[in-house]
Amino acid sequence: MEREWMDAFRLVMREELEPFKQELKAEMTSFKQDIQAEMTSFKQELRAEMTSFKQDMQAEIVSLKREMEVRFDRVDERLDRIEVFQNEDVVAMLHVIQGKIETCASKEDVMYLAGKLGEHDLALDQLKRVK
């Protein structure tokens, strides 16, 4: 008997709870649809923002690349100018050195003068001894 009473109680409870179950099921379906709609909207907004961010970053990268190319071109130009002027500087220094060598006494001239100085020193020494 107790079993029958329990089965009857379950049947009654099932019948009374069925409307609540249907109502909850309908609300859950509606809630699920709302969430899916919001998620779809969120995904679209996020994709749009990511696309915009990507385009901005690509534009920034292109700009930086151009700027770096310009800077490298300037460095190349400076190095070329330095190289040209350095060659001219070396040639000018060689001309200066050549001019100084030509205006200075040669090794033979120095040796000749040293010999003459030695002869004069000897003559002076001899004169000093004679006195």
Going from N- to C-terminal start, the domains of the chain cover 1-130
How many helical (H) and strand (E) elements, i.e. helices and strands, does the chain have? Answer: 2, 0
Residue 131 has pLDDT above 70, yes or no: no
The pLDDT tens digits of the residues spanning 19-55 come to: 988 999 999 999 999 999 999 999 999 999 999 999 9
Query: What value does the mean pLDDT of the chain take?
Result: 87
Which residue carries 């070329």 as its tokens? Answer: 80
Q: 1 by DSSP, 3-state: which?
A: coil
Contact assessment for residue 94 and residue 87, using Cβ atoms and an 8 Å cutoff: no
Its pTM stands at: 0.43
pLDDT band at residue 68, thresholds of 50, 70 and 90?
very high
* Separation CA 48–CA 50 (nearest Å): 5
Residue 105 has pLDDT above 80, yes or no: no
Least confident of 43-52, 59-68, 83-92: 83-92
